[in-house]
Amino acid sequence: MLPTFPHAGRTYSYDPVAPIDISLPLAPGDDQVNCFWAEPVQFDTIRVGSFVGSVALGGSTNYQRIHVTPHGNGTHTECYGHISPDPAVTLNQCLRRFLFVARLVSVAPRPQPNGDLVVMLADVQTALAHQLDRSIPESLILRTLPNDEAKRRRQYSGTNPTYIEPALAEFLVEHNVQHFLLDLPSVDREEDAGQLLAHHAFWRYPVQPRFGATITELIFVPNEVADGLYLLNIQITSLELDASPSKPVLYQLTALPSA
Host H or E run for residue 233: strand 228-236
Residue 245: in which H helix or E strand, if any? strand 243-252
- Compute the average pLDDT of residues 122-146: 91
Cβ neighbours for 41, distance < 8 A, ≥ 6 positions apart: 26, 27, 28, 29, 32, 66, 67, 68, 73, 74
Q: Is the pLDDT of residue 144 over 70?
A: yes
Q: Where are the domains of the chain?
A: 4-36+70-255
| φ, ψ dihedrals at 164, nearest 5° | -105, 155
Q: Kind of pairing, strands 99-107 and 110-111?
A: unpaired
Per-residue pLDDT band at 135 (split at 50, 70, 90): confident
CATH number listed for the domain at residues 4-36+70-255: 3.50.30.50
Write the pLDDT tens digit of every residue in 62-115.
999 999 999 999 999 999 999 999 999 999 999 999 999 999 999 999 999 999
Of the pLDDT bands very low, low, confident and very high (cuts 50, 70, 90), residue 259 is low
Residue 249 predicted with pLDDT over 80: yes
pLDDT in tens, 181-207: 999 999 999 999 999 999 999 999 999
